[in-house]
Structure 1
Amino acid sequence: MKRYVLALLIGLLPAVAGAQANPAAQAARSWRQQHERAIVDEFVTLLSIPNIARDREDIQRNAEAIAAMMAKRGLAPKLVSVPGGNPIVFGEIRTPGATRTLAFYAHYDGQPLDAKEWASPPFVPTLRDKPTEDGGQVIPLPPVGATFDPEWRLYARGAADDKAPVIALMTAVDAIRAAGMTFRANIKFAFEGEEEAGSVNLERTLAANKDLFAADLWLMCDAPLYQTRQQSIIFGARGVTQVDITVYGPRAELHSGHYGNWAPNPAMSLARLLTSMKDDKGRVLVEGFYDDVEPLGPVEKRALAEAPAIGTDLMRQFWLGSTDGGPLTLNELITVPSLNIRGMTSSRTGAQASNVIPASATVSIDIRMVKGMDGRKTGQQITDHIRTQGFFVVDREPTADERRAHPKVAKVVVVRTGAGSRTPMDLPISQEVIRTVESVRGRAVKLPTMGGGLPLAQVERPLGTRTIVIPMGNHDNNQHSSDENLRIQNLWDGIELMAALLTM
């Protein structure tokens, strides 16, 4: 463990020197050191507004609050949407004589939650002296003029995923202007309000407003840093295709003593179906699943080989005794598609369990799509596989006659389809981004894709642009779960990094 900590500290040393080498990052550091409490106060105000994507009233409040932040800085904000969609908060800086445009993306909506699972209310931003799992205690915000300990954590939904880049970008604009520095490119900001709901309206919104959102490059400011706390630059993301499957047993639950061994159990039937989809190593067995995967090129393979090894330490941290996919590493495995069980339900468990044969069993599956794959085709492959396992398949509730006529019945609904995307790492603009990031944060970890999903394809298709992901959050931020948090140093580093990219 001591060797790991030493290696981590050594890996972080170039980042300290890097900020001194980039004038915009240096200006941002100076500004931040003078305004820490004001920056965090603005962040706390934004985090206090509930941001679940389906809550339209609160989403509107978020959008208006961000627009007000942008207006204060003269960024000409607009709320842009299509019927039924949450607004994208747009703003821009027009630079005389600029020959290119850079767009900066973040999202202000957050994942659904159960407040009872949180150590403190999710929309009452709470500062702690260390992570909750390490016994972190609630502490007050320091007075104006005092400094924040960089290891403190700010807890709230959206703290890391993904309101932090909004604050970092606004603060970086303040710092650049205060230092009398100039922008080289036209700058656009696009803050989405339904990324956690699948960005279902993003592509339509961009397509309907192509001129407004047109840019040579979109920098997607989302996702956590590499697990060693090193800065990462990610050139792609996996899309998500979701498939929900329900299999059926008796019309209503039956007494397991009276009817066990006779009435088929849908939970057992679903379990057998799911095990037919993957082998013991985690490889998907659905016919054709990997056929359209676009292979990595030599530059991407070299980047993977150069990325720091993290598997052993993560296994210890996550209490894992084994992993899937060996001998491939985690970084290699997230460049290929996956099939994951998001959740399963059938009757009840725990104190509510009863001795019954369930009436049905349901599973929700997410499939992580990589470049080359088509979500509609993959959804059909899953459906075809279920048929090969002897199921009569419908896409709505089966009728009584259908259930009587077939030994096994499954309702299969492809809820959404996604696509993966990947920008070549050797493009001139890619290399420029690498140089800029490394001028601030030292040697970065370059990855061809990330494991999670981001709407890269939804941006690239309507606008004909390129996308590169610039992470900012701490890797242990509990995003999508309870007690989401942002390490304070990640916010400070993000401000410096955004300042450098804004002046690229």
Structure 2
Amino acid sequence: MKSILSFGIICALTTSSAAFASGASKSIEDYISENAHRIVGDFRDLLSLPNVAENRADMDKNARWITDYIASRGFTSETASAGGAPYIIAEKKVPGATKTVLIYAHFDGQPVAAENWASPPFEPTLRDDTIENGGNIVPWPKAGEVFNPEWRIFARSAGDDKAPVIALMAAIDALETSEITPSVNIKLILDGEEEAGSPTLSKILEEHGGKLQSDLLLFCDGPMHQSRQRQLVFGVRGAMTVHLTTYGPKRPLHSGHYGNWAPNPNDRLIHLLAKMKDEEGRIIVPGYLDDVRGITPAEQAAIDALPQMDGALKDELALGDTDGGGKRLEELIMAPAIVVKGFEGGGTGSKSRNIIMPSATASLNLRLVPAQTPEGIIATLNKFFEAEGYWLTANTPTDEELKQHEKVLKVEWVDGGYGAFRSDLDSPTARKLITILNSVDQKTTLLTPTMGGSLPIYLFEEALDAPIILLPIANHDNNQHGRNENLRLQNLWDAIEVYAAVLTQFGLED
């Protein structure tokens, strides 16, 4: 397998596209330079629209903006809903094209805590660096002034995941201006509820899957490699969320008068969580890893070929140590994970009080790998909790239930989780796509077996008969999901070139 993978990479490196070899790449670069103000202005307008999936009015407004925006590039589209936020399904037919590329992106964003941001999350702001590196606000350039490609635009969804909409339309504009005809028909499915777990996507695909058939599904989400090098990604982990609540006294008690006697729910929850992983972060819940398969030789070869970034990341993040027993990041994200997202059991700092609280709650993010199923994870964890002596309930327990059981645990499984996905790094479609991307700048495209994050790809795998590959465009340090989310402008320019190359070349005969 390793030799086959290497042969595919070598073929990709030694093959170039006639279109880009003849100057198309230069034409795209010139277009970006001449139209940077309009492109960034469009991005700024889209980022100014609040987009938390649970706010249907906001998401409808986003959908209308995008529908109008893509219509001016020749797309016919419809807005679909299955009870949640809207999806946009669109198509642009190209005369003579016999192949179709389907592109997925999402236009919703994580909820924001505006008070934690250095600038308002829906007032896009330019800075010359990250906030962590002391980046200063840059005034928006006037007509005729240039954009420094190292500047960043800060706003919710700048990095995750509105940029593909702008970059793809700019690529289409650039090709038209350069009188270059795409070689493929273009279909879009734009998700308005991905950050909420795409809870109605299966219904959307059931009702509209026939309109989405294609020769390639490109998932345009996620960050580029930490080395800033372009990458193709062939898998994602699944994701589930569960909230765990332990219980103590019915009302808050003075910790001096009742400590050592009244059970403290903080203590109980901490002990329970500590039994789920060892000090290196490895999961030790009995049975949790039974279905996990090992890394294949081809996947290991791809990991070994990636730039080694662990040392630089430790320095960037001010880490004195890492979990995983010394294994590199790209290998560790191919394994399952249990992440404690948050813990609430009373106040800290100026809000701390000398009391034993009635309850404590932790929110856990569970990352799954292929062969693991949500049903299997739920059964395994419930068995583990019961083995630790807990009586389980999905609801807030009554006083009688608390009296009847020594240890009570409320287990709330959140709907909208994802299964994992992983595909072949050396498929004919993958080899062709590698060739196309390498033709943009003659630089090697990295191949990453799995991205650590999660996307609803498994639903597309079940519903559609098309190869699926991830093409991330965002900078790795974009603060997605957190405060001060941003996109480096060079990443936007690079995305336009890459999309133009795919649209121009994928439909050509091999």
TM-aligned CA deviation for residue 439 of structure 1: 1.5
Equivalent residue number for residue 460 of structure 2 = 459
1:47 to 2:43 alignment: no
Equivalent residue number for residue 88 of structure 1 = 87
TM-aligned CA deviation for residue 26 of structure 1: 3.2
The answer to which of 351-360 and 210-219 deviates more is 210-219
Equivalent residue number for residue 3 of structure 2 = none
User: How far apart, CA to CA, are the structure 1 residues paired with 2:349 and 2:132?
Assistant: 25
TM-aligned CA deviation for residue 143 of structure 1: 2.0
1:479 to 2:476 alignment: no
TM-aligned CA deviation for residue 502 of structure 1: 1.6
Equivalent residue number for residue 277 of structure 1 = 276
How do 1:98-247 and structure 2 match up within 5 A? 98-247=97-246
Equivalent residue number for residue 343 of structure 2 = 344
1:319 to 2:318 alignment: yes
User: How far apart, CA to CA, are the structure 2 residues paired with 1:247 and 1:24?
Assistant: 62
The answer to which of 180-189 and 166-175 deviates more is 180-189
SS at 1:77 equivalent: strand
User: How far apart, CA to CA, are the structure 2 residues paired with 1:31 and 1:214?
Assistant: 31
Equivalent residue number for residue 251 of structure 1 = 250
User: How far apart, CA to CA, are the structure 1 residues paired with 2:310 and 2:249?
Assistant: 45
Q: Which amino acid aligns with 1:473?
A: A
TM-aligned CA deviation for residue 431 of structure 1: 1.0
User: How far apart, CA to CA, are the structure 1 residues paired with 2:386 and 2:281?
Assistant: 21
TM-aligned CA deviation for residue 259 of structure 1: 0.6
SS at 1:502 equivalent: helix
TM-aligned CA deviation for residue 129 of structure 1: 2.0
User: How far apart, CA to CA, are the structure 1 residues paired with 2:379 and 2:412?
Assistant: 10
TM-aligned CA deviation for residue 294 of structure 1: 3.5
Q: Which amino acid aligns with 1:151?
A: E
The answer to which of 58-67 and 138-147 deviates more is 138-147
User: How far apart, CA to CA, are the structure 2 residues paired with 1:453 and 1:299?
Assistant: 22
TM-aligned CA deviation for residue 146 of structure 1: 2.6
Equivalent residue number for residue 79 of structure 1 = 79
- Distance change in 2, residues 1:468/1:502 (3 Å): same
Alpha carbons 2:20, 2:501 under 8 Å: kept: no
- Distance change in 2, residues 1:263/1:383 (3 Å): same
1:379 to 2:350 alignment: no
Alpha carbons 1:35, 1:145 under 8 Å: kept: no
Alpha carbons 1:374, 1:418 under 8 Å: kept: no
SS at 1:191 equivalent: strand
TM-aligned CA deviation for residue 137 of structure 1: 1.9
Equivalent residue number for residue 300 of structure 1 = 299
Alpha carbons 2:224, 2:476 under 8 Å: kept: yes
User: How far apart, CA to CA, are the structure 2 residues paired with 1:40 and 1:362?
Assistant: 43
TM-aligned CA deviation for residue 23 of structure 1: 4.8
Equivalent residue number for residue 288 of structure 1 = 287
Unaligned residue ranges in structure 2 (runs of 5+)? 1-12
Equivalent residue number for residue 429 of structure 2 = 429
Alpha carbons 2:89, 2:188 under 8 Å: kept: yes
TM-aligned CA deviation for residue 177 of structure 1: 1.4
TM-aligned CA deviation for residue 415 of structure 1: 1.2
Q: Which amino acid aligns with 1:38?
A: R
Q: Which amino acid aligns with 2:75?
A: L
Alpha carbons 1:277, 1:286 under 8 Å: kept: yes
Equivalent residue number for residue 490 of structure 2 = 489
Alpha carbons 1:473, 1:490 under 8 Å: kept: yes
Deviation string 1:269-320 (CA, Å, 9 cap, x unpaired) is 0000001111112111112211222333222111011111111111111111
Alpha carbons 2:306, 2:447 under 8 Å: kept: yes
TM-score by length of 2: 0.93
Equivalent residue number for residue 387 of structure 2 = 388
TM-aligned CA deviation for residue 21 of structure 1: 4.1
Deviation string 1:412-436 (CA, Å, 9 cap, x unpaired) is 1221342100111111001111111
SS at 1:210 equivalent: helix
Unaligned residue ranges in structure 1 (runs of 5+)? 1-13
Equivalent residue number for residue 8 of structure 2 = none
Equivalent residue number for residue 38 of structure 1 = 38
Alpha carbons 2:429, 2:467 under 8 Å: kept: no
SS at 2:132 equivalent: helix
Alpha carbons 2:104, 2:188 under 8 Å: kept: yes
1:329 to 2:328 alignment: yes
User: How far apart, CA to CA, are the structure 1 residues paired with 2:307 and 2:76?
Assistant: 42
Equivalent residue number for residue 11 of structure 1 = none
User: How far apart, CA to CA, are the structure 2 residues paired with 1:381 and 1:243?
Assistant: 13
User: How far apart, CA to CA, are the structure 2 residues paired with 1:308 and 1:68?
Assistant: 41
Alpha carbons 1:241, 1:379 under 8 Å: kept: no
Equivalent residue number for residue 469 of structure 1 = 470
SS at 1:132 equivalent: coil
TM-aligned CA deviation for residue 130 of structure 1: 2.1
TM-aligned CA deviation for residue 132 of structure 1: 2.1
User: How far apart, CA to CA, are the structure 1 residues paired with 2:144 and 2:472?
Assistant: 29
TM-aligned CA deviation for residue 150 of structure 1: 0.8
Alpha carbons 1:479, 1:485 under 8 Å: kept: yes
Deviation string 1:15-53 (CA, Å, 9 cap, x unpaired) is xx9996485443321211111101111111111111111
Deviation string 1:364-413 (CA, Å, 9 cap, x unpaired) is 11111111110121122111111111111111111212211111110112
- Distance change in 2, residues 1:292/1:100 (3 Å): farther
User: How far apart, CA to CA, are the structure 1 residues paired with 2:308 and 2:94?
Assistant: 42
SS at 1:89 equivalent: strand
User: How far apart, CA to CA, are the structure 1 residues paired with 2:45 and 2:38?
Assistant: 11
RMSD: 1.7
How do 1:3-82 and structure 2 match up within 5 A? 21=21, 23-82=23-82
User: How far apart, CA to CA, are the structure 2 residues paired with 1:85 and 1:24?
Assistant: 41
User: How far apart, CA to CA, are the structure 1 residues paired with 2:25 and 2:349?
Assistant: 54
User: How far apart, CA to CA, are the structure 2 residues paired with 1:460 and 1:22?
Assistant: 36
User: How far apart, CA to CA, are the structure 2 residues paired with 1:24 and 1:299?
Assistant: 34
Q: How many residues align?
A: 488
1:439 to 2:439 alignment: yes
